[in-house]
Amino acid sequence: MWLAAIQLVSGRHWQDNKAQIAAELAALPPQRPLLALLPENFALFGERQGYLDGAEPLGDGPIQRQLADWAKTHGIWLVAGAMPTTIAGSEHIHTSSLVFDPAGDLQGHYHKIHLFDVDVADNHGRYRESETFSPGESPVLVDSPFGPLGLSICYDLRFPELYRRLTRAGARVLLVPAAFTAVTGEAHWEPLLRARAIENQCYVIAANQGGTHETGRQTWGHSMVIDPWGRVLACQPSGAGTVLAQMDAGLTEELKRTMPVLQHARLL
C-alpha cells in the first residue's frame, strides 16, 4: 500500500489549478492501492469572494465531478484536501475535505472544525477564516483499505485532542491537508506533524501548499509522509511535486503492542 502527498502552488482559478493537479496525478507510479492527498485550497487559493463564488453544494459541482473522475481514471483513493462547500440558508460556507474511492464514489467528508483567526508576521498579516467559513462540529473517520482515515485540515494540527479522539475511534492514517504560512510552517509544521504521528502511533500524510502565490501569500511546503515511529519517509521542500512512501500496516500494530500508550493513558 502506498501513501502520496501532492504539493501545489495553487492560484485563484480552478482551470489553472486543475492542470497542475492533473500533471501530478498522471505522474503517479502504477503501484496500487494508493492513497493520494491534495492540499488545502487545491482548487481555489485567493480571497474571500473567490471562495464564496467557487463554493459547491456537497456532492455536486464541476470540481467534485472532476475529483471523482480522477479517482476512477487513476484507480486511487483521492482525498480532496479542502475546498469550499455551501451551507443551505447561510451566507457562510464550509471548508471541506472529501474522500473519493477508486470507483469515483464519495465515501465521506469533513468540515474544518478549527478556523484560523490569527495574526502572523508575514506580508498578509491578518487571517480571519471565520469571516467566510463556519466551523464543522464533529471529527470524521472514513473506512478504507489503508485502515480508518482520520480527517483534519490545516489549523486543526494544533489541537491534539482532535487526533486523540480520531485515534481512539480507530484511525490508522491521519490526513493533514494544509496551506501553512511560511512563517508558522518554518517554526512548527514538522514538529507538530511528527508529534501527532508519535503520540497516536499512526501514519501521517501532510500535503501543504508550497510557494509564493499570486495573492502574495507565501506557504511553507514541506509536504511529507511520516510513519508511526515519527520518521519522515519522504518530503517535498518547495514547489509543486508529489512525495510517495510505502505503508507497513504491521508497524502500527507492533507499536501498539510493544508501547501501548493509549492503554496507559490516564487523563482522557
Distances (CA, A) of 259 to 59, 193, 195, 253: 41, 20, 15, 10
**List of residues 6+ apart from 192 with CB closer than 8 A:** 157, 158
What is the model's pLDDT at position 47? 85
Instruction: Give per-residue pLDDT as tens, 133-157.
Output: 999 999 999 999 999 999 999 999 9
pTM of the complete model? 0.95
Residue with C-alpha cell 465521506? 108
- In CATH terms, the superfamily for domain 2-264 is Carbon-nitrogen hydrolase (3.60.110.10)
112 is catalytic: yes
What is the model's pLDDT at position 123? 63
- Left, alpha or beta for 135 (phi > 0: left; psi -120 to 50: alpha)? beta
Distances (CA, A) of 211 to 23, 154, 169, 217: 17, 16, 35, 8
Q: Cell numbers for 29, please give them.
A: 507510479
Among 56, 112, 129, 202, the one annotated catalytic: 112
For the chain, give every domain's residue range: 2-264
Query: In whole angstroms, what is the distance from residue 103 CA to residue 75 CA?
Result: 7
Among 40, 56, 129, 202, the one annotated catalytic: 40
Angle of helix 190-200 relative to helix 160-168, nearest 10 degrees? Answer: 30
Question: Are residues 209 and 221 in contact, defined by beta-carbon separation less than 8 angstroms?
Answer: yes
User: What percentage of the chain's residues is helix, strand, coil (to nearest 5)?
Assistant: 30, 30, 40
Each of the 268 residues of the chain gets a pLDDT tens digit; together they read 999 999 999 999 999 999 999 999 999 999 999 999 999 999 999 888 989 999 999 999 999 999 999 999 999 999 999 999 999 989 999 999 999 999 999 999 999 999 988 887 676 667 888 899 999 999 999 999 999 999 999 999 999 999 999 999 999 999 999 999 999 999 999 999 999 999 999 999 999 999 999 888 899 999 999 999 999 999 999 999 999 999 998 999 999 999 999 999 988 7
18 is catalytic: no
40 is catalytic: yes
Q: Cell numbers for 99, please give them.
A: 474522500
Q: Using a pLDDT cut of 90, give the percent of the chain over it.
A: 87
- Please tell me what DSSP assigns to residue 148: P
Among 56, 129, 154, 202, the one annotated catalytic: 154
What is the model's pLDDT at position 129? 87
